[in-house]
């Protein structure tokens, strides 16, 4: 289907308006609007993104590597892999009210200030609402342009005019194409509109951020479909603390997906948390059993977290296992190893394991810290406050080496720890970081040190 519509382009500044007016509302010049036809093609007729119709050797020097743009938020840049890639399409998902618009507005403001005009398409909020937020966040700027429009063919010309350094679409669920009879936010509309934004981003070189009302469980139509279409998928999540926000990349065509960015939501907007370890250890109780500090690796960055365990008498029926922040299957494995090789009995006790601060730790390097916390709680013997613990535990009770032991030990040193209980093979790295290693080959040896038996 090919439909022909028209809009009005200002000869002076290139701004696009849906209706004719004597004066351009963007640059305020008179009699500069002229009509232009828009040929709106069906998705099946859309030109390919691939500009080479001939095969080109991969070694050919024609490909130029575009410079990344800085978002002004180091935490955000790190998650993206070092900054924003021109022409990339990024989906920013998250629960309602988590702060997606706040984050995008702060990012837009920085780029408007540092690089050039930014287009913020607000499909959900009125101009006044969006302006009010911008005022509160102190993100008002002459080069930050708001467009309260939801029709894709009215948004597209703004992007294809190529005058912006960044475009944000808040949200993709509110944008629709009249080529489809379906309601905005339906799978068909999401696919159609996201595809169009992808084409616009690639052809204009403008990086485009799409805000999506999607949670990790993918409750709303289309999140998975959107994830496949876009270059990068970021999730903005609230962690255990009310004001703490964590940004993660779950897909990234231009960088790693291991990095996280930590922010704190304040009245004046999102503030970067430059030293998350300090934040996560802030409320750690000292001299209490069941608490162990573990140096986790989040991408290339070490992060100290507190692993907590509580072993108590069961209240009724079969004993409970309540685990959050670590893999429950690994905890089941560790309980079995502790029973078999450590001579400790958990089968008739309730077991709770938690990572303070609501952080999730996926790596097996947390095993030894979890095992020590469990044993510490069961025997009611605190782990020394100056001892940090990391290492993987095998089924035979052996303690195995983990990666990045030097970075982990260096982070531990920064926070006043003097000793580190580690797999034997990691001792040298720990010494090099200025920490006294407590090497262990087995879980039994490890528990002797951790509980000072
Ligand atoms: N003074 C304030 N006024 C409004 N919100 C505030 C204020 N101070 C902090 N906030 C925070 O800002 C959050 C709203 O942020 P934002 O609108 O960016 O979220 P969002 O993810 O875009 O939401 P939605 O899903 O509704 O689009 C609130 O949940 C609140 O935590
Ligand atoms: Mg919003």
Of 157 and 12, the structure prediction assigns the larger pLDDT to 157
**Domain 284-450, CATH 3.40.50.920 — does that match?**
no
pLDDT at 219: 46
397 lines ligand 1 (CB under 6 A): no
Residue 373, exposed/middle/buried by CB under 10 A (0-12, 13-18, 19+)?
A: buried
Least confident of 6-20, 139-153, 258-272, 411-425: 6-20
What would the mean pLDDT of 250-254 be, rounded to a whole number?
88
Mean pLDDT of all residues in the chain? Answer: 86
Least confident of 25-39, 67-81, 187-201, 295-309: 25-39
pLDDT range class, residue 167, cuts 50, 70, 90: very high
Whether 51 shows a pLDDT value over 60: the answer reads no
pTM of the model: 0.73
Which bound ligand lies closest to the C-alpha atom of 105? Answer: 1
245 lines ligand 1 (CB under 6 A): no
Which bound ligand lies closest to the C-alpha atom of 169? Answer: 2
- Tell how far the Cα of 235 is from the centroid of ligand 1, in angstroms: 16
What would the mean pLDDT of 106-129 be, rounded to a whole number?
93
For the chain, give the percent of residues with pLDDT over 90: 54
Where are the chain's structural domains? Answer: 1-42, 67-272, 284-450
pLDDT at 296: 92
pLDDT range class, residue 32, cuts 50, 70, 90: confident
What would the mean pLDDT of 111-119 be, rounded to a whole number?
94
Per-residue pLDDT reduced to its tens digit, 184-196: 877 788 888 999 9
Q: For ligand 1, atom 10, name the residue with the nearest CA.
A: 267
100 lines ligand 1 (CB under 6 A): yes
pLDDT range class, residue 136, cuts 50, 70, 90: very high
Whether 340 shows a pLDDT value over 90: the answer reads yes
pLDDT range class, residue 145, cuts 50, 70, 90: very high
Least confident of 106-115, 212-221, 294-303: 212-221
CATH class of this structure's domain 67-272: alpha beta
For the chain, give the percent of residues with pLDDT over 70: 89
pLDDT at 395: 95
Q: For ligand 1, atom 8, name the residue with the nearest CA.
A: 267
Q: Mean pLDDT: which of 26-35, 268-277, 397-406 is highest? A: 397-406
Whether 352 shows a pLDDT value over 50: the answer reads yes
Of 256 and 108, the structure prediction assigns the larger pLDDT to 108
What would the mean pLDDT of 409-431 be, rounded to a whole number?
92
Whether 119 shows a pLDDT value over 60: the answer reads yes
pLDDT at 28: 84
Q: Which of 93, 94, 95, 98 to mutate to test the pocket of ligand 1 (most atoms within 8 A of CB)?
A: 98
């Amino acid at each position: 289907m090919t439909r022909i519509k028209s809009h009005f382009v200002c000869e002076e500044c290139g701004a696009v308006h849906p209706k004719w007016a004597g004066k351009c509302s963007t640059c305020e010049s008179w009699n500069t609007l002229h009509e232009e036809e828009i040929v709106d093609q069906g998705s099946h007729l859309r030109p390919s993104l691939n500009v080479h119709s001939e095969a080109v050797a991969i070694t050919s020097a024609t490909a130029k590597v575009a410079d990344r743009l800085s978002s002004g938020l180091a935490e955000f840049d790190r998650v993206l892999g070092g900054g924003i890639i021109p022409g990339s399409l990024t989906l920013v998902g998250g629960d309602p009210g988590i702060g997606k618009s706040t984050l995008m507005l702060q990012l837009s403001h920085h780029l408007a200030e540092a690089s050039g005009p930014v287009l913020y398409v607000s499909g959900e909020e009125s101009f006044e609402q969006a302006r009010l937020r911008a005022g509160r966040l102190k993100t008002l700027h002459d080069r930050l342009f708001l467009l309260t429009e939801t029709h894709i063919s009215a948004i597209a010309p703004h992007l294809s005019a190529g005058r912006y350094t960044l475009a944000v679409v808040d949200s993709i669920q509110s944008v629709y194409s009249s080529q489809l009879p379906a309601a905005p936010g339906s799978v068909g509309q999401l696919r159609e509109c996201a595809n169009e934004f992808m084409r616009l981003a690639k052809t204009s070189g403008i990086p485009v951020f799409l805000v999506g009302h999607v949670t990790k469980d993918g409750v709303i139509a289309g999140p998975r479909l959107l994830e496949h279409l876009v270059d990068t998928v970021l999730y903005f999540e609230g962690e255990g603390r009310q004001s703490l926000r964590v940004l993660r990349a779950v897909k990234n065509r231009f960088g790693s997906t291991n990095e996280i960015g930590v922010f704190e939501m304040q009245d004046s907007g999102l503030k970067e948390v430059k030293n998350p370890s300090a934040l996560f250890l802030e409320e750690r109780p000292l001299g209490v059993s069941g608490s162990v500090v573990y140096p986790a690796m989040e991408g290339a960055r070490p992060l100290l977290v507190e692993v907590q365990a509580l072993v108590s008498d069961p209240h009724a029926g079969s004993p409970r296992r309540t685990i959050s922040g670590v893999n429950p299957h690994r905890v089941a494995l560790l309980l079995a190893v502790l029973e078999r090789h450590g001579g400790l009995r958990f089968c008739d006790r309730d077991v709770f394991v938690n990572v303070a601060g609501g952080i999730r730790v996926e790596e097996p390097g947390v095993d030894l810290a979890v095992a020590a916390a469990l044993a510490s709680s069961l025997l009611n013997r605190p782990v020394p406050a100056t001892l940090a613990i990391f290492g993987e535990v095998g089924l035979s009770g052996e303690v195995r080496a983990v990666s990045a032991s030097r970075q982990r030990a260096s982070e531990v040193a920064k926070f006043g720890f003097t000793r580190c209980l580690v797999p034997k093979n990691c001792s040298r790295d720990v010494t090099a970081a200025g920490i006294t290693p407590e090497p262990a080959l087995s879980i039994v040896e490890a528990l002797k040190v951790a509980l000072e038996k």
